[in-house]
């Protein structure tokens, strides 16, 4: 087991779910309530056999909504959760966002922790304290920044993760490499063969290193700029277009971010910020992790319309995050109508 920390949250890496109460003793004295992704609960039922106060939530992005927030609050009241209770979210990024948000508003805020069960949630979504839900098609438009007490990462959950969801995690890991680490980018290129499925990299030092590096990069940006006034914005690389794509098309978060990265690089290349060679290098690595890269079929005008709803837009302008080479990012303020 390895440990990392950021403000008040502790991240336990490569740990064992059966030791949760030993490793995080503070929950022993608390009434704990579990918000669990229904699929994860069924696939790992033996892990949860002794759990009480379980609230099951259907899988999928639609669950990240105010109507589910209200349903969960209702169940917490029925189960007599109080201000000293502790919420633990067990699932992918959807469950982490939802649990963090509910915990932050229930009785004006109660403590919470995450047990992420997808690669994307382990390496990105559970880290950094952003907890939001969607409204209609607008992603994460209602939310808070509030840290969990702990993030408990047990790789054994990944044994049941479908390969498509596994590969989705690489969109955010590749994003981390693009914005700040040429070394991580090389590492991803050199190990694509083993990282393409969990089966071929589990128990390897390379996989443990990959998770550690991705989390460390995210922490580095978050620690210095919790409320996203400055360099935390770089983590939004690929997300302006990615969120627009995710809200309009039936694509997963990882797939949308992959396409969002390609869009951002395409514009950066047009503006002479990024070379063609580097742009192609990023496209190739996304392809080698079987993520979508073909942006030719997307209607640019309708994506631009959606970008006006983005949290980062202001006075018809938006801060777009570009890379000028792999491992180096910058902010470019641009009129939304001039993007394409």
Ligand X SMILES: NC(=O)c1ccc[n+]([C@@H]2O[C@H](COP(=O)([O-])OP(=O)(O)OC[C@H]3O[C@@H](n4cnc5c(N)ncnc54)[C@H](O)[C@@H]3O)[C@@H](O)[C@H]2O)c1
Helices (H) and strands (E) counted in the chain, each on its own, are 14, 12
State the burial class of residue 205 (Cβ atoms within 10 Å of its Cβ: 0-12, 13-18, 19+). exposed
In the complex, minimum distance from the CB of residue 25 to ligand X, in angstroms, rounded to a whole number? 25
Active-site choice (130, 175, 176, 233): 130
Whether 236 is catalytic: yes
Q: How far apart are CA 228 and CA 218, in angstroms?
A: 12
Token digits for 249? 């098309």
Tokens of 266: 């395409």
Any catalytic annotation for residue 44?
Answer: no
Give the residue among 267, 241, 268 at the shortest CA–CA distance from 256.
241
Q: Measured between alpha carbons, how far is 102 from 203 in angstroms, rounded to an integer?
A: 34
Cβ proximity to ligand X, 32 vs 215, nearer residue:
215
Q: How far is the CB of 189 from ligand X (least distance, A)?
A: 23
172 is catalytic: yes
Instruction: Determine whether 239 is an active site residue.
Output: yes
Which of residues 10 and 94 has its CB atom nearest to ligand X in the complex? 94
Residue 253 lies near ligand X (rule: CB under 6 A): yes
Q: How far apart are CA 220 and CA 202, in angstroms?
A: 26
Q: Give dist(CA 91, CA 68) in Å, integer.
A: 15
Smallest distance from the beta carbon of 255 to ligand X, in angstroms?
A: 10
Span 90-149, contacts to ligand X by CB under 6 A: 91-95, 97, 117-118, 120-121, 124-125, 128, 130, 140
Active site residue 232: yes
Q: Hey, which residues are catalytic here? A: 108, 130, 172, 218, 228, 232, 236, 239, 243, 253
What is the binding site for ligand X (CB under 6 A)? 37, 39-40, 43, 59-61, 64, 91-95, 97, 117-118, 120-121, 124-125, 128, 130, 140, 157, 160-161, 165, 168, 172, 253-254
């Amino acid at each position: 087991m390895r440990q990392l920390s950021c403000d008040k949250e502790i991240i336990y890496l490569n740990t064992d779910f059966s030791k949760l109460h030993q490793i995080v003793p503070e929950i022993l004295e608390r009434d704990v309530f579990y918000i669990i992704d229904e699929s994860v609960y069924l696939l790992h039922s033996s892990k949860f056999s002794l759990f009480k106060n379980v609230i099951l939530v259907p899988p999928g992005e639609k669950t990240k909504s105010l109507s589910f927030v209200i349903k969960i609050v209702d169940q917490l009241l029925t189960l007599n959760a109080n201000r000293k209770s502790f919420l633990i979210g067990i699932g992918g990024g959807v469950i982490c966002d939802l649990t963090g948000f509910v915990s932050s508003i229930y009785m004006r805020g109660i403590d919470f922790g995450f047990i992420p069960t997808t690669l994307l949630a382990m390496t990105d979504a559970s880290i950094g304290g952003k907890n939001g839900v969607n409204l209609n098609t607008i992603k994460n438009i209602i939310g808070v920044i509030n840290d969990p007490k702990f993030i408990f990462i047990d790789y054994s959950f990944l044994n049941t993760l479908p390969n498509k969801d596994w590969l989705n995690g690489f969109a955010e890991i590749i994003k981390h490499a693009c914005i700040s680490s040429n070394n991580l980018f090389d590492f991803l290129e050199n190990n694509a063969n083993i990282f393409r499925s969990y089966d071929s990299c589990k128990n390897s030092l390379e996989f443990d290193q990959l998770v550690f590096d991705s989390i460390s990069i995210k922490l580095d940006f978050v620690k210095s700029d919790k409320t996203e006034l400055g360099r935390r914005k770089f983590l939004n690389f690929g997300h302006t277009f990615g969120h627009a794509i995710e809200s309009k098309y039936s694509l997963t978060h990882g797939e949308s971010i992959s396409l969002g990265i390609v869009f951002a690089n395409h514009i950066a290349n047009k503006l002479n910020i990024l070379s063609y060679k580097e742009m192609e290098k990023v496209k190739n690595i996304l392809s080698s992790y079987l993520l979508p890269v073909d942006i030719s079929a997307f209607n640019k005008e309708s994506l631009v319309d959606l970008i006006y709803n983005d949290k980062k837009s202001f006075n018809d302008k938006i801060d777009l995050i570009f890379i000028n080479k792999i491992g180096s990012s910058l902010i470019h303020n641009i009129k939304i109508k001039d993007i394409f």
